[in-house]
């Protein structure tokens, strides 16, 4: 699951995976959580979306001339 954190000067995207830990009797003992910073990946994906939108708009404009 991805989360976006925003402060006054920083936008941070993280992916988080959480699993429960159970003992051999099936009783809940705790959690394991792995969090990965994916900010660069999100920024690159947004840049690609914007470039695609711009290219499609230019293509439409070229066909309307």
Are 37 and 11 a contacting pair, CB within 8 Å? no
Q: State residue 15's pLDDT score.
A: 93
Coil, helix or strand at residue 10: coil
**pLDDT confidence band for 64 (50 / 70 / 90):** confident
- Output the pTM of the full model: 0.62
Question: Torsion angle, CA of 33/37/43/45, rounded to 10 degrees?
Answer: -50
Q: Kindly state the average pLDDT of the residues 24-31.
A: 96
pLDDT at 65 over 90: no
Tokens of 15: 């992916």
Q: Kindly state the average pLDDT of the residues 2-22.
A: 89
Measured between alpha carbons, how far is 44 from 33 in angstroms, rounded to an integer?
25
**pLDDT confidence band for 40 (50 / 70 / 90):** very high
């Amino acid at each position: 699951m991805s989360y976006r954190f925003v402060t006054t000067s920083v936008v941070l995207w993280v992916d988080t995976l959480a699993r429960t830990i159970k003992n051999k009797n099936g009783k809940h003992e705790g959690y394991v959580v792995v969090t990965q910073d994916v900010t660069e990946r999100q920024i690159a994906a947004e840049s690609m979306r914007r470039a695609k939108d711009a290219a499609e708009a230019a293509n439409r404009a070229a066909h309307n001339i």
